[in-house]
Structure formats: structure tokens, C-alpha cells
Structure 1
Amino acid sequence: MTKQLPPTAQAAVQAYIERHGAKPTVLARAPGRVNLIGEHTDYNDGFVLPAAIDRDTWVAAGPRSDGQVLAIALDEGKAEDHFELSEQAVHHPESGWRDHVRGTLAQLVPLAPLPQGMNLVIAGDVPMGAGLSSSASLAMALLRAAQALSGDDTLNGKQLARLAQQAENRFVGCQCGIMDQLTSAEGKPGHALLIDCRSLDTEPVSLPKGTTLLIAHSRVRRGLVDSAYNERREQCETAARAMGVPALRDATLEMLAATPMSDPVMRRARHIITENSRVLSATQALRSGDMQGLGELMAASHASMRDDFEITTPAIDQLASLLQNVVGNAGGARMTGGGFGGCVIALLPQALVPAAKAALEAGYRSPEGLPALVYLCEAGAGAEAIHMTATGTMEG
């Protein structure tokens, strides 16, 4: 199948040609993701129900022969990074996107044959700092690009997702779970993914026809490494140890009630235990077309994130309330992502989209007085590598 490149990919290809005087050998793309329900359960070996979205990071790539990597980020003003391709990655003084590139490629070095260096141009339309996994999208696109350049595809999507997670945990410094990377790796058009974060088993769950994923960005930018994200993970691990279980996935409310622990740690654990149950119930609601039931579960999830896990903000709470009032019994709305800002997801009928957008315009302003940014998305496909043709099209 041959099709025209989308504008973001075209921009990456054109920038590559301008910088190197030749077309890239391969293109790779990987989507962002939105989580319908199941927040912070992934690193507790639990269940999540995300969907890949039709917004991607693209990497135009070609080989080098000097063991070096030259990476250019179009979305950062064509900023560059030049470093040695090595398992022993060195942090860049400015960290940021450069550390994501360095740390991700370093994970692949000891496991797979790689070209002797590579040129990379990166461009994307996944909003950054919004809770839509722009970093996981970048990592998966980089890994697919490097794989395609080497001609070796022995590592599958799950294995690449693990490597991308390792880069976040070990190099970037964010103790995230596997959800973002695995969703970017294995997304399926028109479907959410029920993920068991212990076994990494995934089950596609069809989204009802005629529904839209409306994502409303609060314009409160998130920064997981600098936020309380890592603290929440430590509290969850403390609760699991207190109850004598490997992870909170194995705990029950009865065990929680019988185990002495501080109030904040207890509430963190209660969120995880109840959220895991809500994910499984929400999956059944989707499969049976019970949108009212799904909406009630999404509302309960938001309340738990607000009161027990304490990761919402007043701006996020307001967005969720505005959207839920419009959606009514036809769907649901809740905060999505790691928290402390970012976005709210609403799953709603397409017919309600104009009313939802009007409600947001009339009823919401960020702390700086700005309206919400609204993204209308569909569930998209997972990461892939694409070989360029002579005419500048792609073959998938």
C-alpha cells in the first residue's frame, strides 16, 4: 500500500533533506495515548484501559558510519544534539528531549545490531506536557527507526515498550509504569486496549461507533519528574509492603482496613485497589454498550484521583465537571494522565461535540486566563517503521 505522507512527516523528511542532502532511509511513527480509566495502576501491576490516538511523533532516519548520532528536533526550533551511540549514555546539560533520545537509544545498544551511528530528524503533533504521552511516543518512534535502519526486527512491540520504560526509569528519572509505551507500541484503530500490566497481555476493546475522544487541555503544563509522581509511587510501594503483597494489584480493601498505616498512604492504596476494579468494570461496560455505566465509573475514578490520590487540580476538576454536565448519561469524563495538570478525556457521541466545545469556551479559563485547547481524536494504530520510496511516499 502506498499513500501520501501527512504534513508532520513531510516536514521531518524535508528538514532531513535540507540538513543532509539526501532523503532519509526510513521513517518511523508512534502515537500518543489517552487513558480512558486506570490511573497510576500500571506501576502497581494492575489494569489500565487506554487508547492510542491519531497524533504521532515521526522520526526521519538515515545511517552514519562514525558511531555518532545527530538528532534534530523540529518542534524545539530545530535544536540539535550530537552524541556517541553507546550503552553508557551521558546526560545532556540541558536534559529535556535530548535525554529522552540519548537514554532510549542506549537501551537498544546491548540487545540488537544497530547501524554505526544515525542521523535523526524528529517532528510530532502530540501535545507536550499534556498527559498524552509525548515522551513515550518519541521513545517508541526512535526504537522503531533504529530497528528499521539495522534491518533487525527480533524485538517485538512489548520488548521495545519495556526498553522505552527503562529509559524513563533509569535515565530520565521518572518512575513511570508500562502503560504509555505499550499503548504506543500496540494500539489498534477503533479500539481501546485492556492491559494487564503484570503479564503485559493486551485485549482490544471496541469503542462504540459514532463516539469521539474529546481531549480538553487545561493549559496547566505537567512535569512528571519534577512533580509528586515519584512520591506517589513510593507511597504505593510502602502500602504494599505493609500488607505483605508483591504489589497493590494483589491487595483488597479488607486487607487495607486491617493494616495500620498513615492516612496518606492508606488513601493512595485505596485509590489503586478501587481503580483496578473500575477498569475491569469499565471494560465490561464498553463491551456491552453501557455508556451510562461507563460514565459513572469514569466519574468515580476522577473523584478517587481528586480525594484519595490527590493528583487533580482545580482547573482539571472544573474541566471534568463541565464536560460531564454536557455528556450526561451518554458517556463520561475524567482527568487523564499522571496528574498535576494536563488534560481531561471525554468519551461522548459525535452529536454532542458542538455542545461540549461551547460549554468549555463559555465556562473555562486557565489560571492565566486562556481557554482550553480541544483535541478531537480517534483511536489509532501502534508504532511502525516505514521505508521511503523514491517519490517521497511511504509504504506500510
Structure 2
Amino acid sequence: MHELQQHVLDTFRAAFGGAPALVARSPGRVNLIGEHTDYNDGFVLPCAIDFDTMVAVSPRDDAEVHVVAADFAGDTDRFSLAGAIGHHPHGGWADYVRGVLAMLREAGMPATGANIALAGNVPRGAGLSSSASLEVALALALRHLHRLEHLDNTALALLAQRAENSFVGCNCGIMDQLISARGVAGHALLIDCRTLAATAVEIPASFVVMIIESRVKRGLVDSEYNLRRQQCETAARVLGVAKLRDASLAMLATAGPELDPLILRRARHIISENARTVRAAEALAAGNMRRMGQLMAASHASMRDDFSITVPAIDQLVALLQVAIGAEGGARMTGGGFGGCVVALMRASQVDAVRAHVLQHYRSPDGQAAIVHVCQAGAGAGLVD
């Protein structure tokens, strides 16, 4: 039995005195290319990774929900489905649970309580979307528990996003929840964030995904994220389009003095990043990892120069990786920016040498070595036998 599965089962038994009715799992994710394009109705190319959250559930005969979180020192939460679901006094992990339950109630879930245990191995605070992994795993478990067949995995992803947007208060796009719900083993997904259409793109079997935590704490993310959204909306208004997804570089060139130079650079990143993401999916599908590496490098340069969301330590880490990997594969910052993680694609045979190169030559501004994770593209959410 998988170590994480055993952990969630042991946690459930210790808290509730028996075995659960079912266990669901949902993965974290990393985005290979397509940064800040999701809220501009654009394209992203993430893959699910082989780090998961598992949720064990059983029904109760009352309206109470009792939750235990193995990864937070066995912390617990209790609330009722009999009335409105309020926020936890201290927020945190419990609000993600409460938010999902609130959205499921709106979607027709009966007010029947549940015993719930949570456990996960998605690194928290690393930009690998442990929150979406939790939301989708919980939604999937309760869908099966209550036989809510009208909710497919895309509907669960949208429900989980609403929980994060309207209950937790984080204005995220749909990418994290959708790749967690619909990931395909061995593949990335080219997601159209306007239509939610997703095309599976195979990652060559000889290549792995390396995720490197820079140990640079992600400062300014919330305020700068919201500012970037506003700047993109301003650019779209000036260009006369609904979203920057609908704009072109030619339109940008003719806008001239109407666009503030800073707003122009922000728009240029989004427009060029959308095009790069589509071309990256084509390169990956063709097994052209040289071209994929070039597009990842161009994406990083655009995030650095036009969107201004990288920091010097991240730029240094990407440069180190690009040298160590060589022409076949590549590296770029991934996530909201201002710290966090770098994602790299490389041959499996290069992993040891690349890891050693990073651990020898990189230190964060406060002197910490990077944390390196080697992943395979995993499957999306499902029940655990």
C-alpha cells in the first residue's frame, strides 16, 4: 500500500474508530509554460505531478462534519451543514474544506454529515498547488459518497475554483483545479482557459520534470498579482478586446501612444506567451525538446523583462539549469512570481548531474540550498482502491 494511503487510513481510524467508506486522491501540478495567461482567457500547459492529497470519508447520521488534518499535527475542525457554513475563526486549511462543502451544498449535496481525514505530500508553499489538490480530492470524495453523478471532473474543478475565489478569497484562475481534476499520466494538458477544452500532449518517456524550490519566499505575490490583472485589463480596454487572448502583436504595434509603455510591456508578455504556449505544445507533441527549451527560455525572458515578476535569484537559478541541461530541454520560472519555483525538463539520464550542479552553485539570498524534486507527469484525480 502507498505510504500516503496508509497515512490517511491510519489517521482516519485513530480519529473515528473504523475504516472509511472510500478514499480519493488528487495531485499537485506544475505549469510547464503559460504564465499569467489563464485570467486573460489564454492557454496554459501544465502537468499533474506524482505528489497527492488523499481524503478518506465516511457518512454520518447527523448534519455534523468532523475533519482531521494529518499534516497539521492532527488539527481538527467541526461544523454543521444544518445552516449556513461560516468561516473558521483562524482560516487556514479548514476554510478550504468549508468552502468546498459550501459549494457542494449549492450544487445539490444533501445536508448529511461526514467524517473526513486529510493527508498529503504536495510540498506546501512551493507553488505546486497543494490547495487545489486538497479541494479537488475532497470534492471528488464527497461526489462519490453522495452519488452526485451530475458533477463530472470539470464541474468539480469549477466548484473547487469557486470555493477558493468566493469562500477562501483567493482570485485564482481555473488552471490549478482543472489539471488536478483532469491530468493524464505521462502527458501535459494544453488548456484553453476560455473554453476549458484540454488536449493531452505526451512528454517523451526519456524526459522528466524537475521542480526546484528557490527558497526565495514569494513576497508581493498578492498585491502584484492583482496589479498585473488590472494592467492586463487596462491593456485590453485600450486595444478594444474583451481579453488579451483576443489581441495580437500587430494590434499592439498600432496602439502607439495610447498605451503607456509599462502597460504595453505587460500586454506584450501575455500576447507572446499565449503564442509560445501553443507552439510549446506542438514542439512537445513532436518530441522536439530543443525547440521546447528555446520556448521555455523565451518565456522566462518575457516574465523577467516585460512582466517583471522574476527576482535575481530565480534568474540565476534558471541560468544555471539552462547551462547544466544543454540544448535538449529547458528551464523557466513557474508560478505567480517573485520567488517560488523553477521548472525544468531534461533527460532522465541528466538528473544526477543537474541536481549536483544546482546544489553546488546555487544559494538563496539568505544562504539556503535549493530543494530539488524529480517528478513524472501523473494522472488526475480518482478513487484509491
Question: Could you state the TM-score of these two structures normalised by the residue count of structure 2?
Answer: 0.96
1:253 to 237, 242, 249: 249
Structure 1 residue ranges without an equivalent (≥5) = 387-393
Match of 2:302 in 1: 304
Distance 1:66 1:255 in 2: 59
- Aligned residues of 2:15 and 2:68 also touching (Cα < 8 A): no
One-letter amino acid of the structure 2 residue matched with residue 10 of structure 1: Q
Question: CA 1:353/1:14 → structure 2, altered by over 3 Å: closer, same or farther?
Answer: same
Q: How far apart are 1:263 and its partner, in Å?
A: 2.9
Q: State the shift of 1:215 in Å.
A: 0.7
* Stretches of 4+ aligned residues off by more than 6 angstroms: none
How much does 1:211 deviate? 0.5
| 8 Å contact from structure 2 (residues 28, 128) kept in 1 | yes
Q: Aligned partner of 2:283: which letter?
A: A
Supply the distance in 2 between the matched residues of 1:178 and 1:119 (Cα, whole angstroms).
28
- 1:340 pairs, out of 319, 338, 341, with 338
Q: Which residue of 1 aligns with 2:279?
A: 281
Residue in 2 that maps onto 1:128 = 124
2:136 is the counterpart of 1:140: yes
What residue is the counterpart of 1:383 in the other structure?
381
Structure 1 residues 342-351 or 261-270, which shifts more?
Answer: 261-270
Does residue 210 of structure 2 align to residue 214 of structure 1?
yes
Residue 18, structure 1, aligned to residue 14, structure 2: yes
Within 2, Cα distance between the matches of 1:222 and 1:114?
39
Quickly say closer, same or farther: Cα 1:338–1:294, change in 2 above 3 A. Answer: same
1:269 is the counterpart of 2:267: yes
Hey, what does 2:225 align to over in structure 1? 229
Contact 1:58–1:141 (CA under 8 A) maintained in structure 2:
yes
The one-letter code of the counterpart of 2:216 is V
- Equivalent residue for 1:389? none
Query: What is aligned with 1:391?
Result: none
User: Counterpart of 1:89?
Assistant: 85
Tell me how far apart the structure 2 counterparts of residues 123 and 224 of structure 1 sit (CA, whole Å). 29
Q: Measure the CA separation in 1 of the matches of 2:108 and 2:187.
A: 31
Conserved 8 A contact 1:115-1:149: no
Which residue is equivalent to 2:52? 56
Give 1:374 deviation, angstroms.
Answer: 0.6
Amino acid at match of 1:178: I
After alignment, is 75-84 or 268-277 more displaced? 75-84
Offset at residue 176 of structure 1 (A): 1.3
Task: Give the SS at the match of 1:374.
Answer: strand
Q: Give the structure 2 partner of residue 328 of structure 1.
A: 326
Q: CA deviation at 1:233?
A: 1.5
1:357 corresponds, among 355, 369, 373, to: 355
CA positional deviation for 1:25: 0.9
* Match of residue 293 from structure 2: 295
100-109 vs 200-209, which moves further:
100-109
What do the CA deviations read for 1:101-136 (whole angstroms, capped 9, x no partner)? 111221111213346111111111111111111111
- C-alpha displacement at 1:226, in angstroms? 3.7
Per-residue deviation, 1:153: 2.3
Q: Which moved more, 1:176-185 or 1:66-75?
A: 66-75
SS of the counterpart of 2:303? Answer: helix
Q: Which moved more, 1:308-317 or 1:88-97?
A: 88-97
C-alpha distance in 1, partners of 2:124/2:13? Answer: 26
Deviation at 1:86, TM superposition (A): 6.7
Compare 204-213 and 72-81 and name the one that shifted more: 72-81
Matches within 5 A, 1:365-376: 365-376=363-374
- Indicate whether 1:164 and 2:139 are aligned: no
Please say if residues 269 and 303 of structure 2, whose CA atoms lie closer than 8 Å, have aligned partners that are also in contact. Answer: yes
Aligned to 2:23: 27
Taking the aligned partners of 1:307 and 1:108, their CA distance within structure 2 comes to 42
- Any idea what SS the aligned residue of 1:109 has? helix
Opposite residue 349 of structure 1, the aligned amino acid is R
Q: Report SS of the residue matched to 1:132.
A: coil
Percent sequence identity over aligned pairs: 55
Which residue of the other structure, out of 179, 198, 201, is the alignment partner of 2:194? 198
Which amino acid in structure 1 is aligned with residue 49 of structure 2? I
Amino acid of the structure 1 residue aligned with 2:347: P
Q: For structure 2, which runs of at least 5 residues remain unmatched after alignment?
A: none
